[in-house]
A and B are shown apart, each in its own frame.
Chain A
Amino acid sequence: MTTEESIQSFRQSYSALRAEIGKVIVGHDGIVEGTLISLFAGGHVLLEGVPGLGKTLLVRTLGEVLDLSFNRIQFTPDLMPADILGTNMVMEAPGGRREFQFQHGPIFAHLILADEINRATPKTQSALLEAMQEHQVTAGGELRKLEEPFFVMATQNPIDQEGTYPLPEAQLDRFFFKILVGYPSAAELSEVLTRTTTGARAQVQRVMTREALIDLMALVRQVPIASHVKDYAVRLVLATHPKTETAAAISSQYLRFGSSPRGGQTLILAGKVRALIDGRFNVSYDDIEAVASAALRHRLILNFEAEAEGITTDHVIAQVLRDVPRDAQALVS
């Protein structure tokens, strides 16, 4: 398949995925797009929202439309790491001999739904760190590779809800996007009610195989990006580093820590996916700006002053986008 055909295939697959998901999920276009961008970029997604907004349904639907193995882990306060990763158990062999056998945990699947991830203790949450970053787990003294592709789609309630534990910064940073799920509009809510209070149930079809997905993920990384666009992403990330020469004023005022390099990687990769979705062969400034909030909001740590004044990371990112010029050496018209 030529590059042009691959690109065409990408767009068709994306459209098919949107269409299938759209049969189940009403509205939430931005959330669906963000989730799919993470999927094609090979990143994990953290969906945050109050209960009942369709977070779990979205991920479950995604598992249904992709020809991938799918596991759901319901995070609870008593959930233990071994419950996720798996454990060695004494098993009786056919010869009657007893031996330890590793029982794979639910993490061993292509697509993991980590539902209400912030209801587990930090200890259990941390069990995902190695799997998310290195696509492997170490259990029973052995290193076990996870099959590619591997995605963690986590949902969480807002952290100020009862019985929740905030995710550690290290784990947050491993999520490609953090997508905020908001309330549906009146029309969307009406449609949701229609679909869920009648006997009809939407049937979705598998529209993409594992191999096709891996090919498209490889295609994404080939999309060219101009140096000045890359420089823009770099300047955006640096602008979030408080008390530095490159810091935006708002970062120095309201942030304790800025984005890690993973934030920059996310901006570029997400920009590439977005360019392909848009039918372009290059990344633009608009692509970077469009994904900046989802890519950076969970990577910025607010300080006391911001907390006291009710400033969110989205405010900071919006201001940084306003402060940082797109082209540092642009000609003035």
Chain B
Amino acid sequence: MSELESIRAVLERAARRHRLSYGLRGLSWGLLFGAVAALCVLAVYHVVEMPLWILPATAVLPLIGTVAGFIAGAWRKPGLSEVARWVDGRRQLKERLSTALEVAGTVEETPWRNLVLSDAAEHIKGVDARQLLPLHLSNATRWALVVLALGAGLGFLPEYRSPNALRKRADEQNIKETGRLLADITRRSLEKRAPVLEPTQKSMEAVSELGDQLGKHTLSRSEALKDLANVADKLKEQLKDMSKDPGLKRLQEAARNGGGTDSQSSAGLQKQVEALQKQLGAPTGNPDALDKLKKELDQIQHAASGLANKDSAAADAERQKLSDALSALSKEMQSMGVQLPQVDDAINALAANQTDLVLKDLDAATTDLEKMREMAKSLQQMQQQMAKLGKDLAEQLKNGQPEIAQQTLQKMITQLNSANLTPEQLQKLMQEVSKAIDPAANYGKVADHLTASVKRMKGNDKAGAAQSLADASKELEKLMQQLGDAQELSATLDALNQASMCIGNGKCWGRCQGRPGFNPNGGRPGRGVGTWADEGGQWDGTSTAGWDNSGVVRPEMLGRGQTDRGDGELSDALQPTKVKGQFSQGGPMPSITLKGVSIKGQSKVDYTEAAAAAQSDAQSALSQEKVPRAYQGAVKDYFDDLKK
């Protein structure tokens, strides 16, 4: 290896080492910058509302800084001449290496070239790149660690959020939650019953999509309400169009009045009534009578519990009295047809002075009586419902009971199609159908089909009549489907309104039942006092959250600007003072002489002339170097300003 090669080899090693060292230095500084940036972002995050993704991004910042710093540091490969100069400086080689490299670059081989190379090669022998440049992280790393620790510490501090920001965040979460629920409800509704009409299907899908959109995207309250209002308007329009159909209108009225949309037939109801009567035993008392019996039994039970194994003459008298009451109650029950053997057992136990047994029997009797009362109530409701059911097709249509009317029509079709239909039966059918034509006028084409059926019956065209009745049945079916769609739309609209109310009031779904001010449990809207009292609601005697606001702290509503103003006396500085002197044309101005003696008299020189003279003197002093150089600029500026 020649002298030049040996020099180059050492310098290349040093260059690599130097590059790595620069990389490490860049790494340290990159880490420091990244840590400082992360700390700043964290600090800002603690006082300013920012998106949540900022936090993981902040955590990555020091890492990015480290990598970027290392790359930036190690990016440039130092040249050999640079390294030679650096080694010269570090090892006090008096520029031997750098001169040798430069001289070696000349083509001409001169004695001086050889001398310089030999000298440099001799001096580079002891140079070791590793000793020359030990690798270590710079002090910036320590500071970076300190900053990172500060950042970690900052993470434990709670963030400050303004009331507005908190409200906004709560709104966003509420909007998302409401959107998800709206989409969920609409989707379930669609799964439960797919709408028959395509526009209804589309509208409900639009609501579902809106719910998804609210649930996924971050929208402001006004944006969300606007979107909801748009869709709600469309649904209202659609409902309005549907309600123009008279048949549907009639069905809706009937549905509102508790009419016959119930699919239970009169036969089914009759069976249920009979079953209940069989359980209760005939003749059964009405629920009120049973209620009265229960109250009496409760009183007796209360009296029996006070008896509690007393053994005295007074107690015997009480027992006798209780026994009499129980006997009277038993007779009353028997007269009402109510069979409760536990009452008789209780009388016997009382006679045997077994108070515990008496209480046990009375308890069982009370339970049975309660059950009977519930069954009687159900029976009464069923009977009322049966009373509402139409007896024939005309009444069914009149009452708005299309399903039952359909069943009736089906029976008629079966009769018409049967071979053994007598003329009397046909006549009876014709009369029933004729009677139903007028009520059917509200059901679209049903009346037409019924009229056609009557005509065909008159012409003894049984098959044709049956077909007309089938058409009427289909028309009813169609109307019912439309009604179903309308109800679904209405429900969806309610859900939309509820979502709007939730978002508008910033409350969760469960706390926004019904329209604003509307109590779903009945009663008048609002929960105030007087005429708007919540009649349905009952106070449990302990909850006061509705009106007691003591202990609620609302710093944003605290009074401002009210400070202690002292005793109402003005300080001396604020006392009014009188300034002497007067402003008059040509007269002296009132003035205060702060220091020195004022020069009396009037100036006869114009101000501009005085300023010009002063400036001239200054210029002269400057040109004659009377003013030190350091002050020349200031002096010149001052006198130049006098011009202005």
- Chain A interface (Cβ < 8 Å from any Cβ of B): 2-4, 7, 222-229, 253, 278, 280-286, 304-305, 308, 326-327, 329-331, 333
Are A331 and B85 in touch, CB under 8 angstroms?
A: yes
Q: Does B102 contact A (CB under 8 A)?
A: yes
Most buried by B among A2, A226, A284, A285: A226
- Answer whether A229 and B95 are a contact pair too, CB < 8 Å, given A280-B119, A327-B89, A331-B18: yes
Q: Is B409 an interface residue (CB 8 A)?
A: no
Known: A226-B102, A331-B18. A281 touches B95 (CB 8 A): no
State the CA gap A228–B101 with chains docked (Å).
12
A229 to B629, CA, bound (A): 35
Q: Provided the pairs A330-B89, A333-B90 are in contact, do residues A285 and B95 lie with their beta carbons within 8 angstroms?
A: yes
Give the distance in Å from the alpha carbon of A331 to the alpha carbon of B17 in the complex.
12
Nearest B residue to A303, CB-CB: B629
Q: Is the CB of A226 within 8 A of B112?
A: no
B18 with A282: CB separation less than 8 A = no
In the complex the two chains form, is B98's CB within 8 Å of A228's CB? yes
Q: Mark B600-644, 1 if CB is under 8 A from A, else 0.
A: 000000000000000000000000010011000000000000000
Q: How far is the CA of A20 from the CA of B334 in the complex (A)?
A: 159
| Chain A residue at minimum C-beta to C-beta distance from B629 | A305
Q: Give Cα A278 to B103, complex, Å.
A: 20
- CB A99 to nearest CB in B, in angstroms, measures 53
Residue of B nearest to A282 (CB): B99
- B39 vs chain A, min Cβ distance (A): 27
Look across to chain B and name the residue whose beta carbon is closest to the beta carbon of A304.
Answer: B625
- A308: chain B residues within 8 A (beta carbon): 628
CB distance from B552 to the nearest CB of A (A): 64
- Answer whether A281 and B119 are a contact pair too, CB < 8 Å, given A3-B112, A222-B112, A331-B18: yes
Q: Other CB < 8 Å A-B pairs besides A226-B102, A330-B82, 6 of them?
A: A224-B112, A224-B113, A229-B95, A229-B99, A282-B119, A330-B89
The reply to whether A282 and B85 form a contact with Cβ atoms under 8 Å apart is no
* A282 CA / B21 CA spacing, docked (Å): 30
CB distance from A229 to the nearest CB of B (A): 6
Is A280 a contact of B94 with CB atoms below 8 Å?
Answer: yes
**List of A residues within 8 angstroms of B98 by Cβ:** 226, 228
Judge whether B86 and A333 touch: CB under 8 Å. Answer: yes
**Beta-carbon nearest neighbor of B95 in chain A:** A284
Q: Are B94 and A329 in contact (CB under 8 A)?
A: no
Chain A neighbourhood of B96, CB < 8 A: 280, 282, 284
Q: Of B82, B100, B116, B625, which one neighbours A329 at CB under 8 angstroms?
A: B82
Please determine whether B119 and A226 come into contact, CB atoms closer than 8 angstroms: no
Residues of A within 8 A of B94 (CB): 278, 280, 282, 284-286
Report B-chain residues with C-beta under 8 Å of the C-beta of A4. Answer: 111, 115
Q: What is the bound-complex CA distance between A326 and B78, given in angstroms?
A: 18
Given contacts A331-B18, A331-B82, contact A281 B629 (CB under 8 A): no
Residues 488-508 (chain B) with a chain A CB within 8 angstroms: none
* Nearest residue, chain A, Cβ from B132: A333
B275 CB–A CB distance under 8 Å: no
Instruction: State whether the Cβ of B9 lies closer than 8 Å to any Cβ in chain A.
Output: no
Report the Cα distance A66→B78, complex, angstroms: 50
Q: Nearest Cβ distance between residue B37 and chain A, in whole angstroms?
A: 24
Is B83 engaged at the interface, CB distance under 8 Å to the other chain?
A: yes
Kindly state the separation between the CA atoms of A329 and B78 in the bound complex, as whole angstroms. Answer: 11
Any chain A CB within 8 A of the CB of B166? no
- Residue count of chain B within 8 Å CB distance of chain A: 27
How far is A253 from B629 in the complex, measured between Cα atoms in Å? Answer: 9
For A224, give its contact among B82, B85, B116, B628 (CB under 8 Å).
Answer: B116
List B contacts of A278 (CB < 8 A).
Answer: 94
| Cβ 8 A contact of B103, one of A224, A280, A331 | A224
Q: Does B149 contact A (CB under 8 A)?
A: no
**Which residue from chain A places its CB closest to the CB of B15 in the assembled complex?**
A331
Q: List 29 A-B contacts (CB under 8 A).
A: A3-B112, A3-B115, A7-B115, A223-B112, A224-B99, A224-B113, A224-B116, A226-B99, A228-B85, A228-B98, A229-B95, A253-B629, A278-B94, A281-B99, A281-B115, A281-B119, A282-B94, A283-B95, A283-B99, A285-B95, A327-B89, A329-B82, A330-B85, A330-B86, A330-B89, A331-B78, A331-B83, A331-B85, A333-B86
Per the 8 Å Cβ criterion, residues 69-116 of B in contact with A are 78, 82-83, 85-86, 89-90, 94-96, 98-100, 102-103, 111-113, 115-116
CB of A84 to closest CB in B, whole Å: 38
Find the B residue at minimum CB distance from A288.
Answer: B95
Contact A305 B95 (CB under 8 A): no
B133 part of interface (Cβ distance < 8 Å): yes
Cα–Cα, bound, A241→B625 (Å)? 21
> Which one of A3, A222, A282, A331 contacts B95 once the chains associate, using CB atoms below 8 Å?
A282
The reply to whether A227 and B102 form a contact with Cβ atoms under 8 Å apart is yes
**Complex-state Cα separation, A285 to B83, whole angstroms:** 16
Q: Which residues of A lie under 8 Å from residue B629 when comparing CB positions? A: 253, 305
Q: Which of A225, A304, A327 contacts B99 (CB 8 A)?
A: A225
Q: Which 10 A-B pairs have the closest CB atoms?
A: A284-B94, A282-B99, A3-B111, A226-B99, A331-B86, A284-B95, A281-B115, A281-B116, A226-B102, A226-B98
Inside 8 A of B99's CB, which chain A residues have their CB?
A: 224-226, 229, 281-283
CA gap between A260 and B628 in the complex, in Å: 27
A285 to B89, CA, bound (A): 10
* Shortest Cβ distance from residue A333 to the other chain B in the assembled complex, whole angstroms: 6
A227 to B102, CA, bound (A): 8
A226 to B85: give the CA distance in the assembly, Å.
10
Q: How far is the CA of A224 from the CA of B78 in the complex (A)?
A: 24
With most chain B CB atoms within 10 A of its CB, the pick from A281, A286, A305 is A281
- Which residues of chain B are within 8 angstroms of A331 by Cβ–Cβ distance? 18, 78, 82-83, 85-86
Interface members, chain B 97-154 (any A CB < 8 Å): 98-100, 102-103, 111-113, 115-116, 119, 133
C-alpha spacing A324/B565, complex, angstroms:
67
List B contacts of A286 (CB < 8 A): 94
Contact call A305/B628, Cβ cutoff below 8 A: yes
- Chain A residues lying within 8 Å of B21, measured Cβ to Cβ, are 333
Question: B78 to A282, Cβ gap below 8 A?
Answer: no
A19 to B89 alpha-carbon distance, docked (Å): 33
- What residues on B are CB-neighbors of A285 within 8 Å? 94-95
| A residues in contact with B100, CB < 8 Å | 282
Chain B residues near A7: list those with CB within 8 A: 115
Nearest CB of chain A from residue B21's CB, rounded to whole Å = 8
Question: B103 — which chain A residues lie within 8 A by C-beta?
Answer: 224, 282
A284 to B21, CA, bound (A): 27
Give the Cβ gap from B73 to chain A, nearest Cβ, in Å: 11
A202 to B257, CA, bound (A): 147
Contacts A226-B102, A228-B98; A282 near B116 (Cβ below 8 A) = yes
Q: How far is the CA of A223 from the CA of B113 in the complex (A)?
A: 10
CA separation between A281 and B104, bound complex, in Å?
14
- Residue of A222, A278, A284, A331 contacting most chain B CB atoms (<10 Å): A331
**B113 CB to nearest chain A CB (Å):** 8
State how many angstroms separate the Cβ of A118 from the closest Cβ of chain B: 27
Chain A residue nearest to B21 (CB atoms) is A333
A-side contacts of B85, CB under 8 Å? 228, 327, 330-331
CA gap between A330 and B90 in the complex, in Å: 11
Cβ contact within 8 Å between B95 and A2: no
- Chain B residue numbers with a CB within 8 Å of A2 are 111
Bound CA–CA A229/B119 (angstroms): 18
Shortest distance from the beta carbon of A293 to any chain B beta carbon, whole Å: 20
- Which residues of B lie under 8 Å from residue A223 when comparing CB positions? 112
**Which of A4, A7, A282, A284 has most chain B Cβ within 10 Å?**
A282
Distance in Å: Cβ of A15 to nearest Cβ of chain B: 20
Tell me the complex Cα distance, A327–B97, Å: 14
Interface string of B351-371 (1 = CB under 8 A from A): 000000000000000000000
- A329: chain B residues at CB < 8 Å are 82
In the bound complex, what is the Cα–Cα distance between A7 and B118 (angstroms)? 15
A4 closest partner in B (C-beta): B115
Nearest CB in chain B: distance from A85 CB, A? 40
B601 to chain A, nearest CB (A): 40
